[in-house]
Structure 1
Amino acid sequence: MTRILLLSSLLAANMAVHASSPFLSAVDAHFKAWDQDHDGILSVVEIENSVASPQFKGPAAAAIASLRRAVRNTDYKLPPLTQESLHKLVPKPKGNEDLPDLDDLFEHASRRIEAGKTDLVDLSKLSLDSLEQGKLGDCFCLAPMGAMLHRDPQEVARRFSPSGEGFVNVTLGASRTFRVSLPTDAERALMATTDGSGVWANCYEKAVGQMRSKEEDTNHPTELSVVTRGGSAGTMLSILTGHEIERASCSPFRDKKIPEEEKQKLLQDIRRQMTATQAAGRLICGGTLKGKTADGHKPPGVRGPHAYAILAYDANTDVVTLWDPHGDDYTPPAAPPGIQNGYPRTQGRALIPLTELVQWFGGFSFETERPLKEGT
C-alpha cells in the first residue's frame, strides 16, 4: 500500500511539472518527430534540421529553438538529450549554472515568434533602429548590413524580392543572388529582429549561410547553423557592397615596442581614410578581438570578439559613432565615460574618441570604389 501511494505521489508530481511547463508539453508531443534516426537521443544535427523545418510552428518551434540555444552554448554541460533527461532538466536544478533554464528559453522564444511580422519588407518601418542581432553569433554580417541600412534603407529593401511561394531572392553585391526559403518560426525565434519591418534580415542571414555552406561541414547542415560559425565583418562588407575593402589594424596601438611617433602616423592615416571614405558615401565597419587595451583592461560594456559598424566620424572632435548590432542601451557603472568606465550606448550607438577606440579595437575595414573581382 505504501509503495502504491509513493508511486502515485511521484506520478502526481511529474504531472504537475508537466502541466506547468509548456516546454515539456511540446517536447513530449514532438520528440519523436525531431528524433529523425529514432535512436531516442536528439543530436545537434537533428535539432538544427528541426529548427529549419517549417512543419514545427508555435510551441513546437519555441521548444526546438530553446534546445538549439542550449546545445550550441558551450557554457552548458548537457547530458544526452533523451526525452527522460529533458524532463529531469525542468525545472532547472537550483544553483547549477552548468544547465540551461529551458522554461525561460521557451518563454523568450515564444514571445519572439508571437511578436514577429512575416511580411518581407515594410519600407515605412525600415531603419537602423529596427535591426537587432538575435541569438546567433552573426554580428559579422549584421554590422555591414547596419552600415548600409544607416546609409540608405531603400538600397537595403531593393536587395529582397519574392521568388515564388515561400521563397525570397536576396542580392549580395552587384549581382550575386541567393534563393532562400522564408524563415521558419524557430528560425525567427533565434535570428535578428526588425521591429515590425519584416523578415528581410532573416532572409539575409540565410543567404549568407547559404553562400558560406560547405558540404563537408556535417555539423552545420542548415543556413542558420552555418551563419553561426562567425566570420569577418570586412570580408562580408566587401561581399555585401560588391566593392573591395582596405583594412587598417589597431594592433600596433597595443604593441609597446612600436614607437609613439609611428603610432601617431598610423592614427593620422586612419583619420584620413575615415574622412575620405565618409565623404565618398562609402561604408566602414570593424570589430574587436578581445576588446582589451595593452594592459589587459576591457572597457565595461565592450563586447569582444564582436563586429561593429562605424556610422560617422567627426573630424572636428575626432569622435567616432560606433553601432553595436545588438542595438541595446548601456549605462556605464561610473563617471566619467571612457576607457576605464565604458561608454554610454543608446540603441547600439556610442560616441567614442578615436584616440581611445584604437586602443581596444581590432581594426577597421573601409569600402573602396574598386569592384570586387568575380569569384572572390
Structure 2
Amino acid sequence: MKLSPTLALLFVFYPSLLYAQAAKEPKVSFEDVLKARYESWTKDLPTGKITADRVNSLVNNPRIHGDDAAAVAALHLYFRAQNNVTSVEESALLQTSKIMDSDERRDQLTKPVNLEQAFSRYRKHIQNAPKELFAKDAPKREGISQGRLGDCFVIAPIGIFVTQHPNRLKGMIDQIIDGSCLVNFPGVKPVRVPKLTEVQIALGSSAGEQGLWLNMMEEACAMELRTLTGKKSAVAMDLISSGGTTAKIIQMLTGHSVESTHLQPADTKERAKVEAEVRRVLTAVHKDKIIACATTSHTKKEDATPGIATGHAYGIVDYNTATDMVTLWNPWGNKLEPKGPDGIKFGYSTVSGVFSVPLKDFLKLYETLLNQTNKPLPKK
C-alpha cells in the first residue's frame, strides 16, 4: 500500500498514532457474550436452560458490567416480550438474535425481539451514560429520551415537573455515600433506591449527558408503585414497562390530587364546557406552573396524524393565550419535519419532542387532560 507524503511522515515520526488507528476496538456481538457467559449463568440450573428468574437476578446484580450488562438487558427484554416463556436454551437465543424486529414503537415490544439489535443499543447506552447523579446543568427536560419501556406515563410527568420546577426535583433526591439514594416524594415515606446496576441503567430511559437522576426517578416511581399496588416483581422496573396511570405519577411528584377532563364528549352540547375547562387548566399551566399531561386514545385511526402516537402520554409545556397555541412534549424526544404545512394532516414541526398545536386541534387529537389541582393529598 502506497502512503501519501503526509502519512509517510507520520509513520516515520509517530508510528504509534497509525498503529492505534489501525487497532480499532473489535466489534462485540450478543452472540459473543452469550457463548462466553451462558455456562456460568446457567451452571446451577437443573435444565441447563437460562430462566427468566435467573435473568432477573442478573439485572439486579451490581457485579454485571459492560458488555455482560448489555447482554443481560437484551435477555430481560426477550423474556418480557415472551411473557409466557420461563426458560430458553442457548441455541434458541442465538437463532432469535438474527431475526429482525420492528422499531416503529420504541415503547411497544415486538415478537420476537432482535437480541443483537437490542444488545448494540444497550451497549451504547451503558458506554455513554455519565455515572454521576447530576452532571452538567441537570436536571432539565432537554435531552430526555424515553427508553424501551412503555412508561410514557412516568416520563411525561417527570419531564414536565423538571420543566416547571427543576430545583424542586433536584431537591427530592438525596444521594447516600454508598451510591444509593433517598427519593422524597411529598407526603409519603422516602423511597430508598439501591445503587443502580448497569443493567438497570441500560433498560431505563436516558437524560443524555445529565447523569443518572432520571433513572433514579424512574426506579423510585416503580418501587413506590410496587408498594402502593402490592404487586410483586423481582425487577421493579417491570411494573412500569407496559403502561400505567399518568394521574398517579402526577400525584406522586406533586403531593396534590389530580383532575381528569375527557376532551371528546359524545354530547356536542358539552363541547363548549370542555373547551372552557381546558382553557382554565392550560392558563394555570402557564401562570401557576401546574403539572399537566394529555393522553391519546388507544384506538389507531387510519388517518392518524404523523408524529402523534396512539396510547401515549404527552407533557404540556405551555399555553399561549394570545395565539391559542398549546405546546406539548413527547417523552421520546423525537424530531419531525412534516411533509406539508403544520396541521392534523401532516403533523407538527417537532424538535427534541417539543411541538405546538392550535387548541382546536388539541381537542381533536387528544382524549384526556390530566392536571395537578391545588388540593394536597392526605399525608401518609
Is TM-score (shorter-chain normalized) higher than 0.5?
A: yes
Q: Which residue pairs with 1:362 in the alignment?
A: 367
Q: Structure 1 residues 372 and 62, CA, compared in 2 at 3 Å: closer, same or farther?
A: same
Pairing of 1:134-149 with structure 2 (within 5 A): 134-149=147-162
Q: Which residue pairs with 2:18 in the alignment?
A: none
Name the aligned partner's letter for residue 121 of structure 2.
H
Q: TM-score, normalised by structure 2?
A: 0.83
Distance 1:200 1:209 in 2: 14
Q: Which residue pairs with 1:86 in the alignment?
A: 93
Q: TM-score, normalised by structure 1?
A: 0.84
Distance 1:40 1:65 in 2: 20
Name the aligned partner's letter for residue 278 of structure 1.
H
Pairing of 1:1-376 with structure 2 (within 5 A): 22-35=29-42, 37-73=45-81, 81-92=88-99, 99-122=112-135, 124-213=137-226, 217=231, 220-252=233-265, 255=266, 258-259=267-268, 261-290=269-298, 297-332=303-338, 334-375=339-380
Distance 2:115 2:371 in 1: 42
Name the aligned partner's letter for residue 69 of structure 1.
L
Q: Is the 8 A contact 1:309 1:323 kept in 2?
A: yes
Cα deviation digits, residues 126-167 of structure 1 (max 9, x gap): 321122111111111111111111113222111111124131
Distance 2:191 2:111 in 1: 39
Shift of 1:216: 6.9
Q: Is the 8 A contact 2:187 2:379 kept in 1?
A: no
> Secondary structure, in 3 states, of the residue corresponding to 1:29?
helix
Shift of 1:273: 2.3
Distance 1:250 1:331 in 2: 27
Name the aligned partner's letter for residue 100 of structure 1.
V
> Secondary structure, in 3 states, of the residue corresponding to 1:24?
helix
> Secondary structure, in 3 states, of the residue corresponding to 1:345?
coil
Higher mean C-alpha deviation, range 269-278 or range 348-357: 269-278
Root mean square deviation, CA, Å = 2.7
Q: Structure 1 residues 226 and 329, CA, compared in 2 at 3 Å: closer, same or farther?
A: same
Distance 1:160 1:33 in 2: 37
Distance 1:216 1:161 in 2: 25
Higher mean C-alpha deviation, range 207-216 or range 231-240: 207-216
Q: Structure 1 residues 114 and 233, CA, compared in 2 at 3 Å: closer, same or farther?
A: same
The number of residues matched between the two structures is: 346
Distance 2:50 2:264 in 1: 43
Q: Is the 8 A contact 2:81 2:112 kept in 1?
A: no
> Secondary structure, in 3 states, of the residue corresponding to 2:370?
strand
Q: Structure 1 residues 149 and 50, CA, compared in 2 at 3 Å: closer, same or farther?
A: same
> Secondary structure, in 3 states, of the residue corresponding to 2:283?
helix
Gaps of 5+ in 1: 1-18
Cα deviation digits, residues 219-252 of structure 1 (max 9, x gap): x321121221421112210111111122111131
Shift of 1:30: 2.4
Q: Is the 8 A contact 1:244 1:371 kept in 2?
A: yes
Name the aligned partner's letter for residue 30 of structure 1.
R
